[in-house]
Homo-oligomer: A and B are copies of this chain.
Amino acid sequence: MTNSYSRSNGVQLAAQDAALLDRRERVLGAPYRLFYQRPVHFVRGEGVFLYDADGNDYLDAYNNVPVVGHSNPVVRARVSEQLGILNTHTRYLTDGVVSYAERLIDRFGGAVEQAVFVCSGSEAVDLALRMARHVTRRRGIIATSHAYHGTTDAAAAISPSLGPNNEVPADIALVAAPDLGASDPQTEEREFAARVDHAIADLRARGVEPAALIIDSIMSSDGLHGTVPVLGAAAQVIRRHGGLYIADEVQPGFGRTGDWWGFERHELAPDLVVIGKPMGNGVPIAAVLGRASVFDSFGGDVRYFNTFGGNPVSIAAADAVLDEIDDRGLRDNAATVGADLRAALSSLAAEDDGISSVRGAGLFLALELQDDGVPNASRATAVVNHMRDARVLISASGPAENVLKIRPPLVFGSEHLPRLADALRAALAASPGGDPVSGSPVTS
> Which residues of B sit under 8 angstroms from A88, Cβ to Cβ?
42, 45, 50, 63, 65-66, 70, 282
Tier of interface size on chain A: 35 or more
A405 within 8 Å of B (CB atoms): no
Contact B29 A284 (CB under 8 A): no
> Which residues of B sit under 8 angstroms from A311, Cβ to Cβ?
282, 284
Contact B153 A129 (CB under 8 A): yes
Contact A284 B119 (CB under 8 A): yes
Q: Which residues A285-311 have CB closer than 8 A to chain B?
A: 285, 292, 295-296, 298-308, 310-311
A94 to B42, CA, bound (A): 6
Contact A306 B151 (CB under 8 A): yes
A66 to B34, CA, bound (A): 33
Contact A130 B115 (CB under 8 A): no
A414 within 8 Å of B (CB atoms): no
Contact B116 A28 (CB under 8 A): yes
CB contact between A93 and one of B40, B76, B295 (< 8 Å): that residue: B40
Fill in one digit per residue for A183-210: 1 if any B CB lies within 8 Å of its CB, else 0: 0000000000000000000000000000
Contact B152 A153 (CB under 8 A): yes
CB contact between A31 and one of B20, B94, B116, B283 (< 8 Å): that residue: B116
CB contact between A43 and one of B31, B95, B134, B165 (< 8 Å): that residue: B95
Given contacts A76-B83, A84-B73, contact A126 B114 (CB under 8 A): no
Contact B71 A27 (CB under 8 A): no
State the 3 A-B residue pairs at the shortest beta-carbon distance, nearest first: A30-B299, A31-B299, A80-B80
Contact A71 B44 (CB under 8 A): no
How far apart are A14's CB and chain B's nearest CB, in angstroms?
10
Contact A120 B282 (CB under 8 A): no
> Which residues of B sit under 8 angstroms from A97, Cβ to Cβ?
24, 28
> Which residues of B sit under 8 angstroms from A83, Cβ to Cβ?
71, 75-76, 79-80
Contact A32 B313 (CB under 8 A): no
Contact A40 B92 (CB under 8 A): yes
> Which residues of B sit under 8 angstroms from A71, Cβ to Cβ?
83-87
A23 within 8 Å of B (CB atoms): yes
Contact A41 B123 (CB under 8 A): no
How far apart are A357's CB and chain B's nearest CB, in angstroms?
26
How far apart are A139's CB and chain B's nearest CB, in angstroms?
11
CB contact between A119 and one of B50, B65, B123, B304 (< 8 Å): that residue: B123
Number of copies: 2
A415 to B66, CA, bound (A): 44
Contact B300 A30 (CB under 8 A): yes
> Which residues of B sit under 8 angstroms from A90, Cβ to Cβ?
28, 32
Contact B130 A20 (CB under 8 A): no
Given contacts A44-B85, A98-B23, contact A33 B91 (CB under 8 A): yes
24 cross-chain CB contacts under 8 A: A27-B105, A27-B114, A27-B115, A30-B295, A30-B299, A30-B300, A32-B299, A50-B86, A65-B89, A65-B308, A66-B88, A71-B86, A76-B83, A119-B284, A120-B120, A122-B306, A123-B123, A129-B153, A152-B154, A153-B153, A282-B311, A283-B284, A284-B308, A305-B444
CB contact between A153 and one of B76, B94, B130, B166 (< 8 Å): that residue: B130
A218 within 8 Å of B (CB atoms): no
A143 within 8 Å of B (CB atoms): no
Given contacts A28-B101, A153-B129, contact A93 B42 (CB under 8 A): yes
